[in-house]
Amino acid sequence: MNRGKRLGLALIFFMPWLGSCAWLPFQPVAPGEVRLTRLEVPETVQEDMTYDVALSFRSDSTPMIRQVCCRWASLVPSVAHSSMYWYNYEASSDEPMGSARSRWLDEGAYYDFSGPLCAEEDAIRAISQDRVIVRLQARELKPHFNALECYMEYMNNGRLMESNRVRARVDTSTSP
């Protein structure tokens, strides 16, 4: 086999491998940017208990963290109690929009996510240049929440910035 054919075969063989590198999400961080990469939480949490949550991040420098905010979320919402269920019910019945049934969703036990739980600077401890431990009290837990989602607020050139969000699975159900 001549040299040209071998080179062509080598390119055909290695092209998918070389092309796959273009799809990697590891782009360099912009100057001053903080990109969260991982969230570590205990497997099971209970209401009113305090937990240490670990956040890993990438940054070109040590960020000045103002606060870390988290919220409990339901990754798979309950279909029987979703807002679309009640909207469809009201649309197909004689009940007016905004009736007690739709308000039940806002006031009842089924939410897609909780309000923000923010930890200030005194509850955030840096353990390395790319990892912090956040002391967080579990509040507003509902049995159907199965994830914790967090983001970081930090200062960059005198401006308050917000990082991306990371999420980790967690069990909030309590045994009877």
pLDDT in tens, 61-113: 889 999 999 999 887 655 554 555 555 555 555 555 555 444 444 444 444 78
The answer to whether residue 141 is domain-embedded is: yes
The amino acid occupying position 7 is: L
Domain that holds residue 130: 27-77+112-169
Cβ 151 vs Cβ 162: under 8 Å: yes
| CATH code, domain with 149 | 2.60.40.10
The structural domain count of the chain equals 1
Residue 1 domain flag: no
Token duo for residue 100: 């007690």
Structure confidence by residue, pLDDT tens digits, 97-156: 555 444 444 444 444 788 889 999 999 999 999 999 999 999 888 888 888 999 999 999
Question: Strand, helix or coil at 168?
Answer: strand
Residue 18 lies in a domain: no
Asked if the model's pLDDT at residue 36 lies above 80, the reply is: yes
Tell me whether residue 54 is in a domain. yes
In a domain, 102, yes or no: no
pLDDT band, residue 4 (cuts 50/70/90) = low
Q: Is residue 17 part of a domain?
A: no
| Residue 121 domain-assigned (yes or no) | yes
The pTM of the full predicted model, rounded to 2 decimals, is: 0.66
Asked whether residue 32 is assigned to any structural domain, the reply reads yes
